[in-house]
Amino acid sequence: MKVKDSQLENVVKEHRKAVHAVDPVFLNRWSPRAFSDQKVTDEDVNSILEAAHWAPSSFNDQPWRFVVAKTEEHLQLFNKFLSPFNRTWAEKAPVLVMVASDTKRENGDSNTAHEFDAGTAWGHMAIQSTLLGLSTHAIGGFDRELAREILKVPADFKLHAVIAIGYRGEKESLSESLQEREIPSSRKPLEDVISEGTF
């Protein structure tokens, strides 16, 4: 079952308030674990990946790579390397995407910005998903060596996260402990993360 938009708005307003003006999309984007079984269209998946592909990158190297699982067969492959804890909720998501990045530039030099750039691409993916009424949750808990083997990822690529994508579901579909955590997180005060001139 898909959660109604009005319910989502109330949950976000209760837990998130920006001090300065910001587009609502940034507050509405959060990382739930409850996903409904409603399928995501290929059009929406492609729109999300297109947004990620237009992220900025050092020297326009575009080091990011996305391995997409949306069929039952491919989703089962991903479930093999997710940690048991993450599998309990992520296996309900209709789309999983592995985010990886090339550690080398085309000339063979090391790309010291590949992780930063891949993170920017993931941010684009998350925002575009929110604009489409979808939710995302980045998963770092997975067996990287097993994932590399199963997905046939070359050695020069670093695996970063598996992104669960789908429509938000009812929190009651989660275990009791996870139901308590199924709320938008707040943020530290802005002044705690900003300094002017020096650190």
pLDDT tens readout for residues 66-87:
999 999 999 999 999 999 999 9
CATH code (residue 100): 3.40.109.10
Q: Residue 63 sits in which domain range?
A: 5-186
How many C-beta neighbours within 10 Å does residue 89 have? Answer: 22
Domain count, the chain: 1
Place 103 in a pLDDT band, splitting at 50, 70 and 90.
very high
The pTM of the full predicted model, rounded to 2 decimals, is 0.92
pLDDT surpassing 70 at residue 1 = no
Does residue 89 belong to any structural domain of this protein? yes
Query: Is 192 within the bounds of a domain?
Result: no
Residue 176 CB-density burial (10 A; 0-12 exposed, 13-18 middle, 19+ buried): exposed
Report pLDDT digits (tens) over 109-152: 999 999 999 999 999 999 999 999 999 999 999 999 999 999 99
Any domain includes 193: no
Report whether pLDDT(9) > 70. Answer: no
User: For residue 6, is pLDDT > 80?
Assistant: no
Can you give the pLDDT at residue 132? Answer: 97
Residue 138 and residue 98 in contact, taking contact as beta carbons nearer than 8 Å: no
If you average pLDDT over every residue of the chain, what do you get?
Answer: 94
Tokens for 61, please give them.
């190297």
Contact 81, 146 (CB under 8 A): yes
